[in-house]
Structure 1
Amino acid sequence: MLIRRLADAPLQGRSISAPGWESNRLLLKSDNAGFSFHITRIVKDAELALHYQHHIEAVYCISGVGEILDIAKNETHEIKPGTLYVLDQHDKHILRAFEELQLACVFNPPLNGREVHNAEGAYELTAEEIA
């Protein structure tokens, strides 16, 4: 059994941030669960162009208000507490936070822990994951 506490993530080196967001990565690839689990904060007024080319992500909104734009379909969907969205087609999207968003995120394949978005808004795979 594995027990982790959100407050301990920064002390354990499991807190990553970049402009517009901070992710507390509670469960990672090294934990051997087959997915990673994160609590992510998107700052108010952030607009993030993202495209997870190598990962499927499920996101549940805990608090805050924003929207997600599905670029391929040119459809915008409101995000508010209780909303779940899944990027199951490696969907290119724009995430906007009208208020600070607190999100629970699951990634498959799991993240290693130190990833940040590349120029295309994706997380890179390791050489081992590519092979």
Structure 2
Amino acid sequence: MIVKHLDDVIGTAADVDTEGWTARRLIYKDAGMGYSVNDTLIKPGAELTMHYKNHLETVYCIEGEGQITDLASGETHDIRPGTLYALNNHDRHVLRANKGSHMRMVCVFNPPLTGREVHDATGAYPLTE
């Protein structure tokens, strides 16, 4: 059984901070679960273009508000607490957090992240074997 608290992750190597987001990696590849789970803060006013070519991601918003735009269709959806979106087709997208506060998201990745990934120039995480 794996039991963790967010306080166990903050300030460790599993707490990955970038200009637009901070991901606290709660479960990652070495746990052997077949997926990874992050508690992610999208920073206020951040606008992130992402394209997970190597991963599928499901995201559940628990705090804050923003929007997600599907770059293939141009369709934009509002995000607020209780909103879930799944990038089931490796969807290229733009995620925006409103300027007033961060968005806090629970993110599940398959295949699992190793724990230290950051987006490459295309907005993807690298695939690790």
Query: What interval of TM-score do these two structures reach, taking the shorter chain for normalisation?
Result: over 0.9
1:22 maps to which residue?
A: 22
Structure 1 distance, partners of 2:54, 2:106, is 19
2:5 maps to 1:5: yes
Deviation track 1:55-114 (CA, whole Å, cap 9, x = no partner) reads 000000001000000000100000000000000100000000003100000000000000
Matches within 5 A, 1:38-117: 38-98=38-98, 99-117=101-119
Deviation track 1:36-57 (CA, whole Å, cap 9, x = no partner) reads 0000000110000000000000
Aligned-residue offset at 1:11: 4.2
Q: Percent identity?
A: 50
Runs of 4+ residues over 2 Å off in structure 1: none
Aligned-residue offset at 1:10: 2.6
Secondary structure of residue in 2 paired with 1:57: strand
What is the count of residue pairs matched by the alignment? 127
Structure 1 distance, partners of 2:21, 2:12, is 18
With normalisation by structure 1, the TM-score equals: 0.94
Structure 1 unaligned residues grouped into runs of 5+: none
Structure 1 distance, partners of 2:12, 2:102, is 24
Structure 1 distance, partners of 2:90, 2:7, is 31
1:33 maps to which residue?
A: 33
Structure 2 unaligned residues grouped into runs of 5+: none
